[in-house]
């Protein structure tokens, strides 16, 4: 049995209220985390979750978390600060997407991980909530019992509220009462805790206290729709309690507090009428029932009012009016029977499932109501009534989820052909040009490597000169030329000397050569002086030039790397996709096949449930119609008799006069 159905059996509204209130209240919020998100991808997942697009939210957050755990240094990742929240959010999204199994696994993983006490306690709470929703209250309680130590302040009330509801579900109202009394001041649970306490007292057999508590719950000041609805419900239950106890006037007061436009309005009007009738205030009963009889005729309360209203008239001995209204009821039930028959026939034709997945309708938050108003769609007339069943709701939600998945898979299946096209076009473009580009690149690459080697050699030389100075290495080109020329002159003079010694030439030539040698030495000295005295300055300049060269080399390297990356990217843009695309294509097709089988089964189940419920409704309507027919005949007879009596009495009275 589902949690909702289970909750309904034990204590209809309060436990259901708990489930949904918790589910609504615990969606992760940026605000709840106390600061803006630094991780845009987690924020993106939340953006989808807040719009109730849980598939997209899960898809993004799963990927983000997987990437977070895949990086070498997770502490540097932007998700690091939010990883606990992200893990919880995955569980929440899965829960909202009705994936209880995965949600449970995700939260158990947090529980079993090395986490701080508040985080562990929050995980235990969330696991308990999942168990409770899965109709496993004992497991839920066990999970809550794991909570010890510090509990995050934001969930303290929710933990207590959940515990109280679990205790109610397992038949321990006395324990629940104790907890719920402590929650009466909770702002976030306003109305819900009050109502639940009333129901717990009722379950514990403390009727008087229950009445007082429900009265308090029926008077809470509220403005939000959820609290207004639970306040209405408190008043409705209280009114029914008092009606049962034959306290008709107080019952009427409670029922009067139910809003006329709220979801419990029809029931309140119906019971208010019964309270009046039971107190034999027949005229007063006409007011709520007349109002109710004009409302949507597919509603069972309205149908009951169609019979109750003429009954009240008959109690007032207005049999003529009663007969007219009974006749109207017969007609109305006949119309409704026609609608039910049309609905059943239409569902059997398969139109029901087609109507449910109409996209333009589902854009509207009141789509169920809009469906009912669709012309020429008899399959949807009684949809709101069908939605009352939790089984139907679950089956319907599953069906709609499957339909969404089918659309996604179909779109993806088509996109594979586009991917193939992209890859084919890229291959066609790159493959002819890449060999020529590679050839040019290899030439450039050789030149670049040579220059880089030269630069490296210069760098090493300069580094060495810091230890072993070599001024000659820093000579300018002119200086090098001059040194070479001086060296050549010296060599030439040495050659002349050796030939003179052989020829024994005159001493005048010898003196000239000596003078030249002197000049050469002086000049060499000038060169040497310059190199020695400017050595440090020149070395510094050489280093500066090398640094300038470094900047150019960096630019060169960057371009080189950019080219290599671009070259790789060009290849990666069309190589290596075949296997993953084909794998995905096969998975998508397989999923589509399984999905279509599942959709057929789920759809069949929906149709079966719908037809079964409509058949029951048909039976009730037939009963109503028969009752109305009998009552119509009875009222008609009485009206005719009364009329006849008037006609008999009138001449007699005239004769007497």
216-255 positions binding another protein, by CB under 8 A: 225-227, 229-230, 233, 236-237, 240-241, 243-244, 246
Among 36, 447, 499, 507, binds another protein (CB under 8 A): 36
Site string for another protein, 595-634 (x = CB under 8 A): x--x--xx--x--xx--xx-xx----------x--xx---
Query: Site residues for another protein, window 490-549 (CB under 8 A)?
Result: none
Q: Which of residues 279-298 bind another protein (CB under 8 A)?
A: 280
If the CB atoms of residues 61 and 155 are measured against another protein, the closer one turns out to be 61
Binding pattern for the stretch 305-324 against another protein, x by CB under 8 A and - elsewhere: --xx--x---x---------
DSSP 8-state code for residue 170: T
Sign of torsion over alpha carbons 174, 180, 182, 184? negative
Q: CB-wise, 70 or 651, nearer to another protein? A: 70
CA 153 vs CA 114, 143, 144, 157, 236: distances in Å: 21, 19, 16, 8, 34
Residue from 97, 289, 333, 381 binding another protein (CB under 8 A):
97
36: phi > 0 → left, psi -120 to 50 → alpha, else beta; which? beta
Residue among 98 and 349 whose Cβ is closer to another protein: 98
Cβ proximity of 77 and 68 under 8 Å = yes
CA-derived radius of gyration, the chain: 46
* Total interface residues for another protein by CB under 8 A: 136
Round to whole Å and give the CA distance between 473 and 475. Answer: 6
User: What is the spatial distance between Cα 621 and Cα 619, in angstroms, rounded to a whole number?
Assistant: 5
Selected range binding another protein among 115-123, 150-158, 170-178, 299-307, rule: CB under 8 A? 299-307
Q: Which is nearer to another protein, 368 or 434 (CB)?
A: 368
Q: What is the signed CA dihedral for 287, 289, 291, 296, rounded to 10 degrees?
A: 180
* Shortest CB 244 distance to another protein, Å: 5
Binding mask 48-77 for another protein (x = CB under 8 A): xxxxx--x--xx--xx--x-----------
How far the first Cα of the chain sits from its last, in Å, is 77
What is the distance between the alpha carbons of residues 53 and 51, in angstroms, rounded to a whole number? Answer: 5
Residue from 40, 338, 495, 525 touching another protein (CB under 8 A): that is 40
Question: Cβ of residue 96: shortest distance to another protein, in angstroms?
Answer: 12
For residue 232, what is the enclosing H or E element?
Answer: helix 225-244
Residues from 137 through 196 that contact another protein (CB under 8 A): 192, 195
Residue environment code for 19-36, b if the CB has 16+ CB neighbours within 10 A, otherwise e: bebbeeebbbebeebeee
Record the tokens describing residue 172, joined without a space: 């321990």
CB of 456 or CB of 559, closer to another protein: 559
Closer residue to another protein, CB minimum distance, 388 or 644 = 388
Q: How far is the CB of 483 from another protein (least distance, A)?
A: 48
- How far, rounded to the nearest angstrom, does the alpha carbon of residue 514 sit from its chain's CA centroid? 101
Does the protein bind another protein through residue 258 (CB under 8 A)?
A: no
At closest approach, how far in Å is the CB of 528 from another protein?
51
Closer of 68 and 120 to another protein (Cβ): 68
Nearer to another protein, 278 or 498 (CB): 278
Taking the CB of residue 437, how many other CB atoms lie within 10 A of it?
A: 14
Quote the least distance from Cβ 163 to another protein, whole Å.
Answer: 17
Min dist. Cβ of residue 121 to another protein (A): 23
CB of 24 to another protein, least distance (A): 7
Q: DSSP string spanning 110-129?
A: HHHSS--HHHHHHHHHHHHH
The stretch near another protein (CB under 8 A) out of 141-149, 343-351, 393-401, 492-500 is: 393-401
Q: How far is the CB of 625 from another protein (least distance, A)?
A: 12
Site mask, another protein, residues 417-446, x = CB under 8 A? --x--xx-----------------------
Helix (H) or strand (E) holding 625: helix 578-656
- Residue identified by tokens 């002349």 is 496
Q: How far is CA 229 from the centre of its chain?
A: 26
The residue with tokens 């007699």 is: 652
Options 349-357, 408-416, 466-474, 486-494: segment touching another protein (CB under 8 A): 408-416
Cα 489 to Cα 481: distance, rounded to the nearest angstrom? 12
Q: Which of 370, 390, 451, 638 binds another protein (CB under 8 A)?
A: 390
Q: Is 388 in the site for another protein (CB under 8 A)?
A: yes
Q: Which one of 180, 301, 330, 355 is in contact with another protein (CB under 8 A)?
A: 301
Number of H helices, E strands in the chain: 27, 0
Identify the CA nearest to 203 among candidates 6, 12, 11.
Answer: 11
d(CA 639, CA 347): 43
Compare residues 311 and 352 and give the one whose CB is closer to another protein: 311
Do the Cβ atoms of 238 and 218 come closer than 8 Å? yes
Minimum CB–partner distance for residue 133 and another protein (Å): 11
Binding marks (x or -) toward another protein, 340..379, rule CB under 8 A? ----------------------------x-----------
Query: Which residues touch 368 (CB under 8 Å, ≥6 apart)?
Result: 383, 384, 387
Q: Least distance from C-beta 611 to another protein, angstroms?
A: 8
């Amino acid at each position: 049995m589902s949690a909702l159905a289970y909750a309904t059996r034990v204590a209809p509204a309060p436990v259901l209220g708990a489930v949904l209130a918790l589910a609504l209240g615990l969606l992760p919020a940026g605000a709840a985390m106390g600061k803006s998100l630094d991780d845009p991808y987690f924020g993106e997942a939340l953006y989808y979750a807040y719009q109730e697009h849980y598939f997209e939210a899960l898809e993004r957050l799963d990927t983000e978390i997987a990437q977070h755990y895949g990086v070498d240094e997770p502490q540097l990742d932007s998700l690091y600060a939010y990883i606990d929240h992200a893990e919880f959010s995955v569980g929440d999204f899965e829960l909202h997407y009705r994936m209880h199994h995965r949600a449970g696994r995700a939260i158990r993983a947090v529980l079993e991980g090395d986490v701080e006490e508040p985080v562990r306690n929050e995980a235990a709470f969330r696991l308990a909530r999942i168990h409770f929703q899965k109709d496993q209250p004992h497991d839920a309680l066990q999970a809550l019992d794991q909570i010890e130590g510090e509990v995050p302040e934001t969930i303290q009330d929710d933990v207590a509220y959940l515990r109280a509801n679990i205790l109610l579900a397992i038949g321990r109202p006395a324990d629940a009462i104790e907890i719920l009394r402590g929650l009466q001041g909770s702002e976030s649970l306003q109305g819900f805790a009050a109502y639940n306490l009333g129901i717990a007292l009722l379950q514990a057999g403390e009727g008087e206290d229950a009445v007082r508590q429900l009265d308090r719950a029926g008077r809470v000041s509220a403005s939000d729709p959820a609290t207004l609805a639970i306040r209405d419900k408190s008043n409705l239950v209280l009114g029914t309690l008092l009606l049962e106890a034959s306290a008709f006037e107080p019952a009427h007061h409670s029922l009067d507090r139910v809003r006329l436009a709220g979801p419990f309005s029809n029931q309140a009007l119906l019971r208010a009428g019964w309270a009046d009738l039971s107190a034999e205030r027949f005229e007063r009963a006409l007011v709520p029932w007349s109002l109710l009889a004009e409302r949507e005729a597919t509603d069972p309360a309205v149908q009951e009012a169609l019979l109750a209203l003429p009954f009240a008239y008959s109690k007032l001995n207005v049999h003529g009016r009663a007969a007219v209204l009974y006749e109207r009821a017969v007609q109305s039930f006949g119309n409704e029977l026609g609608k039910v028959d049309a609905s059943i026939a239409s569902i059997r034709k398969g139109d029901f499932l087609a109507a449910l997945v109409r996209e333009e309708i589902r854009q509207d938050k009141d789509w169920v109501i809009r469906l009912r108003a669709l012309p020429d769609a008899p399959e949807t007339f009684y949809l709101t009534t069908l939605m009352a069943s939790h089984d139907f709701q679950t089956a319907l939600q599953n069906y709609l989820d499957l339909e969404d998945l089918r659309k996604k898979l179909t779109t993806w299946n088509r996109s594979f052909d586009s991917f193939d096209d992209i890859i084919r076009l890229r291959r066609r473009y790159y493959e002819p040009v890449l060999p020529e580009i590679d050839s040019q690149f290899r030439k450039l690459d050789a030149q670049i490597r040579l220059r880089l080697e030269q630069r490296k050699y210069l760098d090493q030389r300069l580094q060495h000169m810091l230890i072993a100075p070599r001024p000659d290495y820093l000579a300018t080109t002119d200086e090098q030329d001059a040194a070479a020329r001086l060296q050549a002159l010296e060599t030439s003079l040495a050659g002349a000397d050796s030939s003179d010694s052989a020829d024994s030439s005159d001493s005048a030539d010898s003196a000239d050569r000596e003078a030249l040698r002197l000049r050469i030495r002086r000049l060499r000295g000038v060169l040497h002086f310059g190199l020695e005295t400017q050595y440090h300055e020149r070395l510094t300049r050489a280093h500066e030039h090398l640094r300038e060269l470094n900047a150019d080399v960096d630019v060169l390297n960057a371009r080189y790397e950019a080219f290599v990356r671009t070259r790789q990217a060009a290849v990666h843009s069309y190589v290596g996709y075949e296997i993953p695309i084909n794998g995905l294509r096969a998975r998508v097709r397989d999923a589509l096949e399984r999905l279509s089988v599942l959709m057929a089964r789920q759809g069949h189940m929906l149709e079966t449930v719908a037809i079964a419920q409509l058949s029951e409704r048909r039976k009730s309507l037939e009963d109503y119609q028969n009752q109305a027919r009998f009552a119509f005949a009875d009222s008609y007879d009485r009206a005719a008799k009364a009329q006849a009596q008037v006609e008999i009495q009138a001449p007699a009275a005239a004769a007497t006069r």
